[in-house]
């Protein structure tokens, strides 16, 4: 809900794709394509309900598995090659209204735009409620200036833009910037949709970058998206992890570095790894705020609780053998004040190897550059002066002491509260941090 207005996300996903058969559930980074759009919708701060409208049972099953509702099966007459999107969305909204569930704003999210972020959805909604427009549409910079385009007719070629200016004598820098609709986000007021419109005239626009705007209609499109986000390729006895750009605040993500790679932690990994690490004599036997592991079931419960609070957990893998050597967490993410708490746990056998520094670099990059956080803070053991000096070199500043904050090796320790701001991180990065 945003400004007392209920928001519904509708993901249209029919099963009869011709250009790329089965594209809505084709694999992308280990998940069906539609799962990435469902995740973005569910992580929006404003969307109250997310449904999928489809005529295909396999798509419906995948959607439900990844957290979306499929309250009805789309009728065949709304799943043809020539079917336009507005009547599909109107049908979905009318179905919900028939059972008493009404919404003020409808967000249409096409599953073929898997790299759009929750922030893009939220920005579109904020623009809509902050203006008199009836719709807001996501756009990207035009790939080619329309001023240099032509139409072909019986009389030959004709400039697409018809006015008194000869644009062919101008350099690109002299042309007015133009944008094209990228198909990622359509936010529409209910009354406009009732008139059969998703895009109204006039409408407002929300700009997205080229990578987040990537759209999949063909195999070539899919290959380009896979190249952008990376993938895991497995062969007998070997795992290769490629470098990718993190796309939002959950997994799966992969980073490569000199010694380590980071991977978003699944519940099973978190349960198994942290339970075993916590019972190793050479590992920190504590969790934040003194919660000590008691069982694998307790670890599962803790993981579920963490994920409900918008936390992000990464496991640190040794690149030489892909063995887990630690866990990193971005906890208590606050989207209102754009801040996060950061914790790191590394096996004692990896202390002094540079793993902590490399992992810190990656997680700060993720927090500031991908999540757009303004500030990241952490609590370090007050008795570990070497570690505190290490983080100070990374740009962290001491803010004070927290009493009995960390539980380690059977007792509580004072914690030093430290923080780093985006501006400080940016300055250090500019100096080859």
Does the pLDDT at position 288 exceed 50?
no
3-state secondary structure of 422: helix
Does the pLDDT at position 306 exceed 60?
yes
Distances (CA, A) of 14 to 9, 81, 142, 186: 16, 9, 28, 18
Angle between helices 118-129 and 33-42 (to 10 degrees): 50
Mean pLDDT confidence for 329-333: 75
- pLDDT band with cut points at 50, 70 and 90 for residue 71: very high
Q: Is the peptide bond before 160 cis (omega within 30 degrees of 0)?
A: no
- pLDDT band with cut points at 50, 70 and 90 for residue 96: very high
What does CATH list as the number for 7-141+177-222?
3.90.550.10
Q: Is the peptide bond before 252 cis (omega within 30 degrees of 0)?
A: yes
Residue 336, pLDDT score: 63
Residue 283, pLDDT score: 46
To the nearest whole percent, how much of the chain has pLDDT over 90?
A: 34
Delimit the CATH 3.40.630.30 region(s) of the chain.
Answer: 235-430
Delimit the CATH 3.90.550.10 region(s) of the chain.
Answer: 7-141+177-222
Structure token digits, residue 308: 């409900």
Q: Residue 27, Cβ neighbours under 10 Å: how many?
A: 13
Closest residue by Cα to residue 331 from 297, 389, 291: 291
Where would I find the beta strands (DSSP E) of 79-230?
A: 105-108, 135-141, 150-153, 156-159, 179-189, 204-207
Mean pLDDT of the chain: 80
pTM given for the model: 0.55
Q: In whole angstroms, what is the distance from residue 427 CA to residue 124 CA?
A: 30
27: β partners: 32
The predicted-structure confidence for 218-253, as pLDDT tens digits, reads as follows 988 998 888 877 533 333 333 333 333 333 344 444
May I ask the CATH class of domain 235-430? alpha beta
Structure token digits, residue 242: 């490629």
Does the pLDDT at position 267 exceed 90?
no
């Amino acid at each position: 809900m945003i400004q007392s207005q209920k928001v519904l996300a509708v993901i249209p996903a029919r099963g009869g794709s011709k250009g790329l058969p089965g594209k809505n559930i084709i694999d992308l980074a280990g998940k069906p394509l539609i799962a990435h759009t469902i995740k973005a919708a569910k992580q929006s701060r404003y969307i109250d309900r997310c449904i999928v409208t489809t005529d295909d049972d396999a798509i419906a099953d995948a959607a439900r598995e990844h957290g979306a509702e499929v309250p009805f099966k789309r009728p065949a007459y709304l799943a043809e090659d020539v079917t336009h999107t507005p009547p599909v969305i109107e049908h979905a909204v009318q179905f919900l209204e028939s059972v008493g569930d009404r919404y003020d704003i409808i967000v249409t999210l096409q599953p073929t735009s898997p790299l759009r972020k929750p922030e893009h959805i939220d920005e579109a909604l904020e623009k809509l409620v902050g203006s008199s427009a009836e719709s807001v549409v996501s756009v990207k910079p035009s790939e080619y200036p329309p001023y240099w385009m032509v139409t072909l007719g019986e009389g030959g070629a004709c400039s697409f833009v018809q006015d008194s200016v000869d644009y062919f004598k101008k350099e690109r820098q002299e042309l007015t910037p133009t944008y094209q609709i990228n198909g990622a986000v359509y936010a529409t007021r209910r009354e406009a949709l009732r008139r059969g419109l998703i895009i109204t005239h006039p409408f407002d626009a929300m700009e997205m970058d080229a990578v987040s705007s990537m759209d999949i209609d063909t195999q070539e499109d899919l290959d380009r998206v896979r190249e952008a986000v990376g993938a895991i390729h497995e062969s007998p006895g070997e795992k290769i992890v490629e470098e990718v750009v993190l796309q939002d605040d959950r997994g799966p993500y992969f980073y490569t570095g000199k010694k380590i790679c980071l991977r978003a932690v699944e519940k099973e990994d978190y349960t198994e790894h942290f339970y075993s690490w916590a019972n190793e004599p050479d590992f920190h036997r504590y969790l934040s705020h003194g919660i000590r592991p008691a069982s694998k079931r307790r670890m599962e419960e803790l993981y579920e609780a963490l994920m409900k609070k918008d936390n992000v957990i990464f496991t640190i893998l040794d690149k030489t053998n892909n063995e887990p050597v630690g866990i990193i967490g971005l906890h208590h993410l606050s989207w209102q004040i754009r801040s996060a708490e950061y914790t790191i746990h590394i096996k004692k056998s990896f202390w002094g190897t540079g793993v902590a520094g490399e992992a810190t670099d990656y997680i700060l990059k993720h927090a500031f550059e991908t999540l757009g956080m303004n500030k990241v803070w952490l609590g370090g053991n007050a008795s570990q002066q070497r570690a505190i000096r290490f983080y100070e070199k990374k740009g962290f500043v001491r803010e004070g002491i927290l009493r009995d904050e960390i539980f380690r090796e059977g007792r509580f320790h004072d914690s030093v509260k430290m923080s780093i701001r985006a501006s400080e991180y940016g300055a250090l990065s500019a100096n080859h941090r």
